[in-house]
């Protein structure tokens, strides 16, 4: 059989739609705008995640250089805690509380600093 025939009938030709429902067009434009906004949010969150990861990595390197010191051992416990550890200690709130309790009171460096401006990340302002 020929490629243009389907069970002895000619293949259907694509049709061009010339009438557009104004409500559908408006809804499509709204959704396209929302997608663009969400893509921007995702990009911002990915940058923030990467920035915090780099900070945690810096802390990890410092802890490895000074292994055995009591305060740094506590910080290492927080750094290497898993979700299961947090669940055993009372959930995410307990893990966050541990991180807050073991953090230095004032290191002189801004906590949650934005990598560009030195201020708080946009998501935290």
Q: 76: which residues sit within 8 A by CB, 6+ positions away?
A: 63, 67
Cα separation, 60 vs 68, in Å, equals 13
- d(CA 34, CA 30) in angstroms, rounded, equals 6
What is the tens place of the pLDDT at every residue in 104-115? 433 433 444 444
User: CB of 95 within 8 A of CB of 81?
Assistant: yes
The CA-based angle 35-119-116, given to 5 degrees, is 70
CA distances from 40 to 14, 34, 61, 96, 114 (A): 36, 10, 32, 28, 17
Residue with tokens 């893990």: 95
pLDDT of residue 58: 94
pLDDT at 89: 63
What integer pLDDT is reported at residue 79 of this predicted model? 87
β-pair type (5-6, 9-10): antiparallel
Beta bridge partners of 77: none
Report pLDDT for 11: 73
């Amino acid at each position: 059989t020929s490629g243009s025939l389907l069970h002895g009938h000619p293949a259907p030709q694509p049709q061009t739609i010339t009438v557009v429902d104004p409500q559908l067009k408006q809804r499509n434009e709204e959704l396209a705008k929302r997608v663009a906004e969400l893509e921007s949010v995702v990009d911002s969150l990915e940058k923030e995640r990467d920035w915090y990861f780099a900070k945690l990595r810096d802390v990890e390197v410092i802890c490895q250089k000074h292994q055995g010191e009591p305060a740094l051992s506590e910080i290492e416990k927080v750094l290497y805690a898993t979700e299961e550890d947090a669940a055993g200690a009372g959930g995410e709130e307990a893990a966050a509380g541990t991180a807050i309790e073991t953090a230095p009171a004032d290191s002189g460096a801004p906590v949650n600093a934005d990598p560009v401006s030195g201020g708080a990340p946009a998501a935290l302002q």
